[in-house]
Amino acid sequence: MKAYTDIEQSHRLAEILPLASIDMRYAPFGDTHPWFMEESLIEKDSIPCWSLAALFEIIPVIIERAGKKYRRRMDESEKDFNIWYEEIDSGLAQSDLDIIAPNMVDACVTMIEKLHNEKLL
């Protein structure tokens, strides 16, 4: 099970998420460690990284768009993981806010990027 963002995802998220959301890091030698915001513990070449738990915290449970409220939904099957938003009043899923990925981390990263692009974060 993928438990945290890979290096490529980490670079992309570092451009759009606040530093306070970072909870891990890739150290200069490639291993991962908890992220400490104390400057003395951050090596020059460290890459910020997000755990699955941190990603879940970033994705809002409720969003509002065009005067309607939407609720986050998640589902896991044997093959993939799905995150989507459905309108609270009607229960209808929003096809443009529906992500299917092979694992939870990839689905969360893609949803965060989509919500950022839509200015919904």
Domain that holds residue 13: 7-55
pLDDT in tens, the chain (121 residues): 789 999 999 999 999 999 889 888 887 665 555 554 444 445 566 788 999 999 999 999 999 998 999 999 999 999 999 999 999 999 888 888 999 999 999 999 999 999 999 999 9
Query: Using CA atoms, how far apart are residues 33 and 82, in angstroms rounded to an integer?
Result: 28
pLDDT at 37: 47
- Whether residue 69 lies inside any domain: the answer is yes
Q: Are residues 51 and 74 in the same domain?
A: no
Residues 45 and 82 in one domain: no
Query: How buried is residue 115: exposed, middle or buried, by Cβ count under 10 Å (0-12/13-18/19+)?
Result: buried
Instruction: Read off the DSSP letter of residue 55.
Output: H
Establish if 2 belongs to a structural domain: no
Establish if 40 belongs to a structural domain: yes
The per-residue pLDDT for 26 is 81
Domain count, the chain: 2
pLDDT of res. 31: 55
